């Protein structure tokens, strides 16, 4: 039996997940869970990066000192786009900002004006969002940040943690592809964009594929955590890339995926980037996955809206579990209103903002907490239908199966809504797709699994999957028409 440790860091929390692989089956166990809470400073919103690394070390300590495990590999995956800068001494000279930091919007607008929307998309094939790394880096330039010009290397979040774990500085391919300054067709950095925006090209380092042995856990960490020397792997370091690697598709029917969590990442797997006028118009993205596959996808606001409603009600003195919110929504009246999920990216006072949106669009306002959640879930399913139609139009292939993976796959009500809204078979699970993908890509790097097809076979053999068949309901078609009208307004 081999054992790999995955550190899976999401926008709300992180986990140390132990994977035991034997006879083609994978078993997962959570060793450590920790909060991931941003820090508001006078100059902006930051990730608490040092605290996160402390918790990564705590996960290693539990594995070594408490469980006395022998590990065959360690790897880190995180959300995309965010990064830190280190100087020639390897010290942090620009702390990682949170992608929701308000500085990004002005930088985004100015960078588009300078470099040109069409040129940026032709170079990168990445959908336009103010949070992308390109605009965060340009924001540092606009602010005349000294750290930008003293930096020796840009390290995305998993790259930074890998450096602190094993002392090696490198950029992993799947996370680099989220930046909007990596060319997925030429498989290289887009230096032309750096020239257009006056950014320092020297910070761009070597790019390594997922599933490569990067180094060995530092001696000090091994000693402190009572571990033998452990390989540190570049897994599919973007959490969505790990999740998509673990989509349990057999390939017998055309399929797409939804990696469901705070964000929903909905897309198809392609052999080459799709960069043309139509994909630019649709604002789709071409990110890189395992074995060089292209994740042609759309970022959608996901369960963030539910999370923010829950957070606001907690501030007001009413605490709900996510299970309670889902049960409440199931009993609420359908189609009270529809909203555009992607209009609610910013944090804070989510119920009030939904109410104002409904008032502005001449719709009935939700009257209870249950109705707010149902409106959010129904609208998310309708947005999935719209993106599904985009993907089918662009590829010319009718999708038959929608695989929903990640934590959001546990939301049975949303899964039912997706099947009803789209008229497609939904396969839900595994919920721990990201951790499973992280671990199994490590196993590929160790030579234990041969390729993506074999990896997905392990997933199918290891996890319970729920299949939901669609039942036609004309009410969903009427709601979709209303949704499209509101999106177009």
The catalytic residues are: 239
Q: Please state, in angstroms and rounded to a whole number, the distance separating the CA atoms of residues 96 and 179.
A: 14
CA atoms in the 13 A half-sphere facing the CB of 450: 0
- Compute CA 207 distance to the chain's CA centroid, rounded to the nearest angstrom: 20
Distinct helix (H) and strand (E) counts, the chain? 19, 22
Are 298 and 390 within 8 A, CB to CB?
yes
φ, ψ at 346 (rounded to 5°):
-75, 145
Q: Please state, in angstroms and rounded to a whole number, the distance separating the CA atoms of residues 243 and 438.
A: 8
Are 120 and 134 within 8 A, CB to CB?
yes
Q: Please state, in angstroms and rounded to a whole number, the distance separating the CA atoms of residues 213 and 127.
A: 31
φ, ψ at 481 (rounded to 5°):
-60, -40
Structure tokens at 418: 């997706």
Alpha-carbon distance values, 54 to 48, 68, 362, 385 (Å): 10, 19, 49, 41
- Neighbour count for residue 115 (Cβ, 10 Å): 20
Q: Please state, in angstroms and rounded to a whole number, the distance separating the CA atoms of residues 160 and 84.
A: 7
User: How would you classify the pairing of strands 207-208 and 212-216?
Assistant: unpaired
CA 107-111-116 angle, to 5 degrees, is 155
Residues 6+ apart with CB under 8 A from 198: 141
Are 377 and 261 within 8 A, CB to CB?
no
Residue count of the chain, please give it: 489
Q: Give the neighbor-by-neighbor strand order of the sheet with 294-300.
A: 285-288, 294-300, 264-270, 255-260, 401-405, 425-428, 466-468
Q: What is the per-residue burial (b if ≥16 Cβ within 10 Å, else e) of 75-92?
A: bbbbbbbbbbbbeeeeeb
């Amino acid at each position: 039996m081999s054992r790999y440790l995955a550190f899976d860091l999401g926008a709300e929390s992180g986990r140390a997940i132990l994977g035991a692989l034997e006879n083609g089956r994978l078993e997962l166990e959570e060793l450590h869970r920790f909060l991931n809470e941003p820090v508001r400073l006078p100059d902006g919103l930051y990730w608490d990066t040092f605290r996160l690394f402390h918790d990564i070390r705590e996960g290693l300590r539990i594995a070594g000192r408490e469980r006395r495990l022998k590990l065959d590999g360690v790897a880190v995956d995180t959300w995309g786009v965010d990064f830190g800068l280190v100087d020639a001494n390897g010290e942090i000279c620009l702390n990682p900002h949170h992608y929701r930091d308000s500085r990004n919007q002005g930088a985004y607008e100015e960078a588009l004006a300078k470099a040109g929307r069409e040129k940026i998309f032709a170079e990168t094939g990445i959908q336009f969002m103010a949070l992308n790394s390109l605009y965060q880096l340009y924001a540092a330039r606009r602010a005349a940040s000294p750290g930008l010009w003293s930096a020796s290397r840009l390290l995305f979040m998993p790259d930074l943690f890998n450096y602190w774990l094993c002392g090696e500085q490198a950029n992993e391919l799947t996370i680099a592809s989220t930046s909007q300054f990596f060319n997925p067709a030429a498989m290289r950095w887009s230096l032309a964009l750096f020239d257009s925006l006056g950014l320092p090209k020297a910070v761009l380092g070597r790019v390594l594929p997922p599933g490569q042995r990067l180094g060995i856990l530092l001696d000090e960490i091994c000693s402190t955590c009572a571990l033998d020397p452990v390989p540190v792997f570049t897994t599919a370091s973007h959490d969505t890339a790990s999740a998509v690697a673990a989509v349990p598709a057999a390939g017998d029917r055309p399929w797409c995926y939804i990696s469901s969590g705070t964000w929903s990442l909905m897309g198809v797997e392609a052999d080459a980037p799709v960069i043309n006028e139509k994909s630019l118009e649709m604002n789709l993205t071409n990110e890189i996955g395992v074995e060089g596959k292209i994740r042609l996808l759309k970022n959608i606001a996901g369960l963030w809206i539910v999370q923010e409603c829950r957070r606001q009600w907690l501030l007001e003195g009413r605490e709900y579990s996510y299970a309670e919110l889902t049960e409440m929504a199931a009993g609420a009246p359908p189609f009270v209103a529809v909203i555009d999920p992607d209009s609610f990216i910013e944090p804070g006072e989510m119920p009030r903002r939904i109410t104002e949106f409904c008032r502005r669009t001449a719709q009935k306002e939700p009257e209870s907490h249950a109705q707010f959640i149902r409106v959010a879930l129904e609208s998310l399913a309708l947005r999935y239908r719209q993106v599904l139609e985009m993907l089918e139009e662009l590829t010319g292939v009718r999708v038959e199966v929608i695989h929903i993976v990640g934590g959001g796959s546990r939301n049975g009500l949303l899964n039912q809504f997706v099947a009803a809204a789209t008229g497609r078979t939904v396969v839900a699970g595994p919920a721990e797709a990201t951790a499973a993908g992280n671990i199994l890509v490590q196993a590929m790097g160790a030579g234990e699994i041969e390729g993506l097809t074999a990896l997905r076979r392990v997933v199918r053999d290891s996890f319970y999957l729920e299949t939901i068949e669609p039942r036609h309901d004309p009410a969903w078609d009427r709601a979709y028409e209303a949704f499209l009208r509101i999106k177009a307004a």
